[in-house]
Amino acid sequence: MVGYLISLGIFTATFALFSLGLNLHWGYTGLINFGHVGFLAIGSYTTILLGIAGVPMFFAVLAGVVLAMGLGFLMGIATLRLREDYLAIVTIGMAEIVRLIALNEDWLTRGGRGVYGFPLPLAQFNPNMPTKLGMIALFWAVVGAAAWQWWQWLERQYGGSHPRWLLPSYAALLIAGTLSLWATLLPLSLGRGIAIFPLGLTLVTLGGAIALVSYYCRSEKPAVVPIALNTLAAALVGLVVKALTLGLWDFSYRAGLLWLLVLVLALVVWQLERWIHSPWGRVLKAIREDEEVAKALGKNVFAYKMQSLLLGGAIAAVAGSFYAWQLTFINPDGFVSLITFQAWTIVVLGGAGNNMGTLLGAALFWAYTALTRFIPLDGGRLEALRMMLIGLVLIILMMWRPQGILGKKEELSLGR
């Protein structure tokens, strides 16, 4: 179960990183990008091909970022002065061109046979005990900082005054719920069926946590469902946190990869939050709402859109490196348009124009993917059922909360 949760955590964090780039494009700037997977493909192929050639991984990733920004520059030059729908069409075409080049340039990418056997980060790393403890301590420092920021954000969104004991009580219930959920899933993963007592304890503790916060964080808008989804996502993240802690103690390659990915993801989110709350970020939001107003205020709209396109593409390229390292094999079939639309699902689900919403959307999307794998259908029918269900969820979400779970309706001008 530890290995499975670590792999699930890597996919969740990789797609969260990938979707953050799309959120910068569409959520904050209003750029409709249906070819985001093109940046992911360039980041993946550049990193592994340069890695095979002996280039140090840091510089290989950096080269992927530069090439992805180059693709974004070409895309922007051709379309950013045109209407939004032209950008959407061109981005699809550019992503398909990248995929077809990877498929047909056999001398460079090995075509449909794919690339494997490339160097992996931390694969030869064998940490001693102090190093392991240091890695675990750094990881928990990031988890603690993220949890505090998450609580502060939750309080700002649904807060108001509440007693001092609320946070410790909620944290205690959440930790108890996560541990009992672990005890529920462990026998299930070993084929021993569901443990009834831990399952009941999970329902009681997580239900109690949701009820407690919903009662004291009342505001004019309904908050029970978003708080419930946040609590569920936090419990799932808690499972991955425990799995990664155990994985770092008995060090494995994938545990090291997830540790590295968590640090990169935390750094990207921190920097994006700084940018978005700066004057630069406010101009992006103004362009998203009405670029004519931004022009009237003397802002160079084209330059701001280009910067957003390049930065979002660079973030996607970094995600591409981790995508390749996790799969340890890539071919052009791994970069089809479906990957882009999975990122769109994550952004729409969590809430456009909200980095925390993107993280929440990634956690819920991969929880949904993990849970539906237990449906007793063969591969093709299961995939079709998954698509139908996620489509149904999105339709209901658009009717109930068109701004997404954590998005702000008043900020996105929806319904006006």
The residue with tokens 């080049």 is 101
Q: Could you tell me if 204 and 69 lie in one domain?
A: no
| Cα dihedral 297→300→306→309 (10° resolution) | -10
411: phi then psi, degrees, rounded to nearest 5: -80, -30
Q: Could you tell me if 311 and 355 lie in one domain?
A: yes
What residue numbers bound the domain in which 357 lies?
A: 1-122+253-411
pLDDT of the residue at 411: 62
Q: Could you tell me if 86 and 199 lie in one domain?
A: no
Q: Could you tell me if 280 and 240 lie in one domain?
A: no
pTM above 0.85, yes or no: yes
What is the spatial distance between Cα 333 and Cα 75, in angstroms, rounded to a whole number?
23
In a domain, 326, yes or no: yes
In a domain, 358, yes or no: yes
DSSP 298: T
Q: Do the beta carbons of residue 308 and residue 28 sit within 8 Å?
A: yes
Three-state DSSP at 313 gives helix
Closest CA to 92 of 306, 336, 304: 336
Q: Could you tell me if 241 and 345 lie in one domain?
A: no
Closest CA to 74 of 60, 61, 93, 49: 93
Q: Could you tell me if 398 and 269 lie in one domain?
A: yes
Q: Do the beta carbons of residue 127 and residue 135 sit within 8 Å?
A: yes
pLDDT of the residue at 310: 93
| Cα dihedral 189→190→191→193 (10° resolution) | -70
In a domain, 296, yes or no: yes
Q: Could you tell me if 96 and 71 lie in one domain?
A: yes
**Token digits of residue 163:** 């007693």
Q: What is the CATH number of the domain that holds 9?
A: 1.10.3470
Q: Could you tell me if 226 and 262 lie in one domain?
A: no
pLDDT of the residue at 317: 94
Q: How many domains does the chain have?
A: 2
Q: Could you tell me if 40 and 144 lie in one domain?
A: no
pLDDT of the residue at 17: 94
In a domain, 416, yes or no: no
In a domain, 131, yes or no: no
pLDDT of the residue at 388: 85
Q: Could you tell me if 159 and 116 lie in one domain?
A: no
Q: Could you tell me if 397 and 257 lie in one domain?
A: yes
pLDDT of the residue at 23: 92
pLDDT of the residue at 416: 47
Among the candidates 234, 250, 266, a domain finishes at 250
In a domain, 128, yes or no: no
In a domain, 130, yes or no: no
Among the candidates 250, 274, 292, a domain finishes at 250
Q: Could you tell me if 118 and 208 lie in one domain?
A: no
The residue with tokens 């339709």 is 395
What is the spatial distance between Cα 48 and Cα 64, in angstroms, rounded to a whole number?
9
- What stretch of H or E contains 58? helix 57-79
In a domain, 127, yes or no: no
Among the candidates 231, 250, 269, a domain finishes at 250
The full DSSP string for 290-308 is: HHHHHHHTT--HHHHHHHH
Q: CA angle, 331 as apex, 330 and 334 as ends, to 5°?
A: 80
What is the spatial distance between Cα 416 and Cα 399, in angstroms, rounded to a whole number?
16
Task: Please report, in tens digits, the pLDDT of each residue of the chain (416 residues total).
Answer: 778 888 888 999 999 999 999 999 988 988 888 889 999 999 999 999 999 998 998 999 999 999 999 988 988 887 777 766 778 888 888 889 999 999 998 888 888 888 888 888 887 888 888 888 999 999 889 888 888 877 777 666 665 566 777 777 888 888 888 888 888 887 777 777 777 888 888 888 888 888 887 777 665 555 677 778 778 888 888 888 888 888 888 888 888 899 999 999 999 999 999 999 899 999 998 888 888 888 888 888 889 999 999 999 999 999 999 999 998 889 998 898 889 998 999 998 888 888 888 988 898 888 888 877 777 777 678 778 888 888 888 888 787 777 777 777 666 554 44
